[in-house]
Structure 1
Amino acid sequence: MKTVLITGANRSIGFETAKQLSAKGLFVYLGSRNLENGEKAVNELNQQGFQNIKAIEIDVTNSESILKAKNIIENENGRLDILINNAGILGIIPQTATEGSVENIRDVFETNFFGVINVTQSFLDLLKKSDSPRISNITSGLGSLTLHSDPTWKYYHVKNAAYGPSKSALNAYTIVLAYELRELPFKVNVIDPGYTATDFNGHNGPGSVESAASFIIKHTLTDDNAPTGKYYSNDIEDKIGISPW
């Protein structure tokens, strides 16, 4: 049975992704910054008939918490097949470039960028023990510099100085990570689940968590011939869904 760790999975898209992966027969470590919230989420899924899920406490901004989670998974399984870096924060809004708080920008980057790096590097040795390791970094369309520079883009006026740039940085890191792991059986991609109605954005957005999770899984459970180092978006209306950087 393949194992997957999803950070920030106690609600919204992460929760639904855990649910759908469990239904596909994977063992899911449902990551939550607060263990109690994670266990509540697992209990809810258990009541719906999903049993191969375990809550695991992991705060992506805390190295000790990450190491503790890594040790648990290593002791129980010896390897990790899939890492989905889903945990993220929006930060305090508005986020203007001229007056936005530097502290707020740092906080957003700490979770959305540096947290992903810390988790990825910490779990890399367990992923290398898998026959088909996958790393999916959950990004946003707001991380695309190309789209943000296009006045005809439907979200052109949705600008901020913290959240979007943190995802642009994540995208750039993923390109380098995929390149460095290119000779190994890794598939490393950034995946934008699309503008989805969740707790994260006050339930705005036309997309559903079901569609968002399905899209993440589509580009995570890939075969050996699948591409790596790509930027997929559920808001791109074509068969492949590749977004411009």
Structure 2
Amino acid sequence: MSRTKIALVTGANRGIGYEIATGLGALGHRVGVGARDETRREAAVEKLRAAGVDAFGVPLDVTSDQSVTHAAELIERQAGRLDVLVNNAGISGETGPGWAQDPTTLDLDVVRTVVETNVIGVIRVTNAMLPLLGRSASPRVVNVSSSVASLTLQAGSDSKAGPIMAAYSPSKSFLNAVTVQYARQLAGTNILVNAACPGLVATDFTGFQGPRTPEQGATTPIRLATLPDGGPTGSFFEDDGVLPW
């Protein structure tokens, strides 16, 4: 079996996901670029390869059972196992002025759509990839979350609370809760499961508003994807350390 570590990053065709793929590739991982859009996916793969990364495209819509199943089959054929899964794909949902989602007027379809991608999509992908992760000597699962998932920060006056986002923020809180459940279920195995906050990053996701670059946003996910054996599991991290739930 090849010693080259195999990684899958969802939503890897741009922004933070692309930089996570870049960083893992620079560390010697062979990286599957998971993305829905074929043109953007293949452009990202070509760009990564030009930078020296051993990258391959993985057609992947996290909201589709069939797409996720096919993605697992593709990785099975390409590599036979998976060492790192980074669940990065996510959406904010429709927002109003100031990038806000008012809970008192929120369209329930927006909530459903956001949860389908940000939570159910992660469960769908993770469960499909678990058999492949089980073949790894040191499997790692990283769920890309946000400080706005923190109930502690949201209920306080901390600047990290951000705008009121009644669909997006709770979806990330839900994701954090799911992360803990996976860590509990997989306790005693060598699979480490953690949540990562990339910080407020200037990407198209944020309308290019934010003090951090995509490269900076990728730092914590990459660190968690490459944790040593016996490292933490079921925790929520940012660059400066553990975030409160």
Cα deviation per residue 1:11-32 (whole Å; 9 max; x = unaligned)?
Answer: 0000011111111110000111
Q: Given the alignment of the two structures, is residue 179 of structure 1 paired with residue 184 of structure 2, yes or no?
A: yes
User: How far is the alpha carbon of 1:213 from its aligned partner?
Assistant: 1.1
- Structure 2 residue ranges without an equivalent (≥5): none
Q: Given the alignment of the two structures, is residue 139 of structure 1 paired with residue 142 of structure 2, yes or no?
A: no
Q: Distance in 1 between matches of 2:102 and 2:242?
A: 29
Over the residues paired in the alignment, what is the CA RMSD in angstroms? 1.0
Q: 2:123 aligns with which of 117, 120, 137?
A: 117
* Superposition misfits of 4+ residues, deviation over 4 angstroms: none
Cα deviation per residue 1:97-148 (whole Å; 9 max; x = unaligned)?
Answer: 1111000111011100100000011111110111111000000011000110
Assess if the C-alpha contact under 8 Å between 1:28 and 1:53 holds in 2.
yes
- How high is the TM-score relative to the length of structure 1? 0.95
Q: After TM superposition, list the pairs within 5 Å mapping 1:189-228 onto structure 2.
A: 189-228=194-233
Q: 1:25 aligns with which of 20, 24, 28?
A: 28
Q: 2:104 aligns with which of 88, 98, 121?
A: 98
Relative to 1, partners in 2 of residues 1:130 and 1:157: Cα closer, same or farther, differing over 3 Å?
Answer: closer
User: How far is the alpha carbon of 1:157 from its aligned partner?
Assistant: 5.1
Identical aligned residues as a percent: 42
Give the match's secondary structure for 1:223.
coil
Q: Distance in 1 between matches of 2:162 and 2:139?
A: 37
User: How far is the alpha carbon of 1:83 from its aligned partner?
Assistant: 0.4
Q: Distance in 2 between matches of 1:157 and 1:91?
A: 16
Assess if the C-alpha contact under 8 Å between 1:33 and 1:59 holds in 2.
yes
How many residue pairs get aligned? The number is 238
Q: Distance in 1 between matches of 2:127 and 2:22?
A: 26
- How high is the TM-score relative to the length of structure 2? 0.95
AA in 1 matched with 2:18: F
Cα deviation per residue 1:187-216 (whole Å; 9 max; x = unaligned)?
Answer: 100001111111101111111111111221
Q: Distance in 1 between matches of 2:172 and 2:156?
A: 18
Q: Given the alignment of the two structures, is residue 81 of structure 1 paired with residue 83 of structure 2, yes or no?
A: yes
Q: Distance in 2 between matches of 1:138 and 1:51?
A: 22
User: How far is the alpha carbon of 1:233 from its aligned partner?
Assistant: 1.7
Assess if the C-alpha contact under 8 Å between 2:140 and 2:224 holds in 1.
no
Q: Which residue of 1 aligns with 2:193?
A: 188
Q: Which residue of 1 aligns with 2:40?
A: 37
